[in-house]
Amino acid sequence: MKSHDLIIVGAGLSGMRAALEGVRANIDVAIVTKIHPLRSHSCAAQGGINAAVDPRDSWESHAFDTVKGSDYIGDEDAIQIMAREAPIVVLEMDRMGTPFSRVEDGGIAQRAFGGANFDRTCYSADRTGQVLLHTLWEQLVKSKVPVYEECSVQKLVVDGAGHVAGVVALDIKSGEVFGIRGKGVLIATGGYGRVYASTTNATTNTGDGMAIALRAGAPLGDMEFVQFHPTGLRTSGILVTEGARGEGGYLINKDGKRFMDKYAPTKKELASRDVVSRAEQTEILEGRGVNGAIFLDLRHLGRQKIIERLPQIRELAIDLEGVDPIDNPIPVRPTNHYSMGGIRTDKLGFSPLKGLFAAGEAACVSVHGANRLGGNSLLDTIVFGKVTGAAASKYVQDQKLPEFPQGAVKEVEDMIGELLRRPDTGVKPAAVQEELSNALNSYVSVFRTAEIMQKAAEVIPVVRAKFKKISLQDTSRQFNIELVRAIELGHLIDLAESIVKGALARTESRGAHFRNDFPKRDDANWRKHTLAHWDPKKEEVVLSYEPVRTLGIPEYEPKERVY
């Protein structure tokens, strides 16, 4: 059986950045990824990455904005690490070759993003994620890190003493199931956008790592906090970056009127995302939208600026919505975008399960709390890719290779074999996924109430029962995408259950979690993290809570959030 000191699952920004720390520490590190590294969804990030690189700005100010943005349940120790490391990691990326946009004197250009007191977002036109991702891949090639490409991890293996012992993966290309032994596993599998029918996320964003960790005994943190981005394209959900508003774009309703001054008098279009999304949804619900959308108006920026700063946005609007933003406003609406929740870790990325680490969108460190600021997620992936990569590399150096339990590979092989051999039941996985993701879209969205969310809670056991009966048309081994998606559907159901249960239980409004039936933030009872655990006996998700990691700094004390 193959074996490495550290196995990194996922080759997005966080996974690749972590691998470079393994190389630096001179350990045997390998990456397993279900899609080629360059296909990872980090490539879709458009707007930019926050860092106080300007001498007039400070990491303290960045940390403060982040604490406030998190609606006071971000963990303050981790937030400080992130804000402090930000300029360092951005300059490192610059040295590795990322072509950041520049200002006249050669310094890195920065733009305004929501919820920030300074124009702090470093960017490369409107394809920041893509250039960062390609840069890290270049470094990965240079360092010759072994990569198991198009291999999907199915199971996190834990030994008798409760220590992680490796993973079991499916080589999608050949259909072979194989085990990899390791002294530690770092999960960097990104978000779970596909739980929602309309999302800015890729089809491969199915939160596998979170679900696999949950089943292996690690808790997930704050799953009820789901970010809705104010500007997803109406039909496809594809993102239009916040950078478009950062460059001066307006939001207008069907009467062509700007409306954000009603909801956020100072910051207007650049209030934090939860605030803007709710404002849009209110406009739509009160009849001032068109076919479920309002509009992003860039016309006044002029042709030149649109072409220079937002070229990709223009292409996407033309290709996918049939609208050239130079001439017409773009129809947009709040769309599922980002998962604040994930595998619960401490400030260095250690999960409570020994030998398991997590970084990036798959993790809940938690630097984002109840609401992530734009530009802070790319930063999170690179800072905690680095921090956790280094911590995990150090950890495995003192470990012996755990015993890989007999039967772990066979268990996965049997599960897959059974699924492939199952006679036609007429229950298609694609249909079951639609049912699940439509329910989340309709019932656990921007505005929530117990009554409405209850409907989603009722759908989940139904979907779970159907999932047990699905059958596949593709029964072959090689490159069986239907099989891969069916397995992913199982993950989505576990994650949906964690989201719905967490949201129903949290009887307050905070950040992205807004309840019409409990419209106020309730710090006395709810300034705490939700933990979701898998109960193997009951075969369901159960909840517990833990306190926020605070530092006792007066400015970080909860206040009303106004923008």
Partner 1 sequence: MSEETYTFRIQRNTPTGNGRFDTRWQEFKVTLPTTSTVLSALEEIKARQDGTLTFRQSCRSAICGSCAMRISGRTRLACKTQVGSVARDKVIEVGPQTNQPVLKDLAIDIRPFFERVRRVDPFLKDGPESAKKVTKTAYDQVNQVTQCIMCGCCYSDCTMAEVSPAFLGPAALAKSFRFVSDPREGMKTERLEFLSQPDNMWSCSRCTMCVEVCPKDVKPMEAIVKLRTRGLEKGLRSGVGARHALAFHEDIQQNGDLNEFTLMMRSVGLGGTLAELGSALHLMKKGKIPSPFPHKAEKLGELRKIYDILEKNPLDVETKAAEIVPE
User: Is cis: bond before 339, omega within 30 of 0?
Assistant: no
Question: Does the protein bind ligand FAD through residue 126 (CB under 6 A)?
Answer: no
Residue 190 is a binding residue for ligand FAD (CB under 6 A): yes
The DSSP result for 99-141, as a single string, is ---B-TTSPBPEE--TT-SS--EE-STT-HHHHHHHHHHHHHH
Query: Which residue of this chain has its Cβ atom nearest to ligand FAD in the complex?
Result: 12
Judged by CB, which is closer to ligand FAD: 8, or 541? 8
Beta sheet of 250-252, edge-to-edge order: 226-233, 330-339, 294-297, 250-252
Residue number with CB closer to ligand FAD (259 or 334): 334
Give the residue, chosen from 239, 264, 362, 512, that forms a contact with partner 1 under the rule CB under 8 A. Answer: 239
How many angstroms separate the first and last alpha carbons of the chain?
55
Provide the residue type at 183 as one letter.
K
Stretch that binds ligand FAD, among 182-190, 281-289, 322-330, 503-511 (CB under 6 A): 182-190
> Binding marks (x or -) toward ligand FAD, 332..361, rule CB under 6 A?
-----xx---------------------xx
257-316: contacts with partner 1 (CB under 8 A): 303-304, 307-308, 311-312, 315-316
Verify binding: residue 38, partner 1, rule CB under 8 A: yes
Q: Is 378 in the site for ligand FAD (CB under 6 A)?
A: yes
Residues 456-495 that bind partner 1 (CB under 8 A): 472-474, 476, 478-482
Q: Is 125 in the site for partner 1 (CB under 8 A)?
A: yes
For ligand FAD, which is the closer residue by CB, 13 or 503?
13
CB atoms within 10 A of CB 560: 6
- Check residue 361 and report its DSSP letter: G
Cα separation of 235 and 135, whole Å? 32
Instruction: Report the distance separating Cα 145 and Cα 20, nearest Å.
Output: 8
SS3 content of the chain, % helix, strand, coil (to 5): 40, 20, 40
Q: Which does 320 bind (CB under 5 to 8 A by kind): ligand FAD, partner 1, none?
A: partner 1
Nearest-approach distance from CB 187 to ligand FAD, in angstroms: 8
Phi, psi (rounded to 5 degrees) for 529: -90, 140
Pick one of 8, 18, 49, 125: the residue that binds ligand FAD (CB under 6 A): 49
Instruction: Tell me which of 66, 124, 130, 189 binds ligand FAD, using CB under 6 A.
Output: 189
What distance in Å separates the CA atoms of residue 95 and residue 90, rounded to the nearest whole number?
9
Q: By rule CB under 6 A, what count of residues binds ligand FAD?
A: 48
Q: Torsion-angle region of residue 26: left (phi > 0), alpha (psi -120 to 50) or beta?
A: left
Rg (CA), the chain: 22
Non-local CB neighbours of 62 within 8 Å, separated by 6+ positions: 50, 51, 52, 83, 86, 116, 118, 120
371 contacts ligand FAD (rule: CB under 6 A): no
Positions touching partner 1 (CB under 8 A) are 35-36, 38-41, 43-44, 96-97, 99, 101-106, 124-125, 127, 130-131, 134, 138-139, 141-142, 149, 173, 202-204, 236, 238-239, 303-304, 307-308, 311-312, 315-316, 319-320, 322, 428-431, 434, 472-474, 476, 478-482
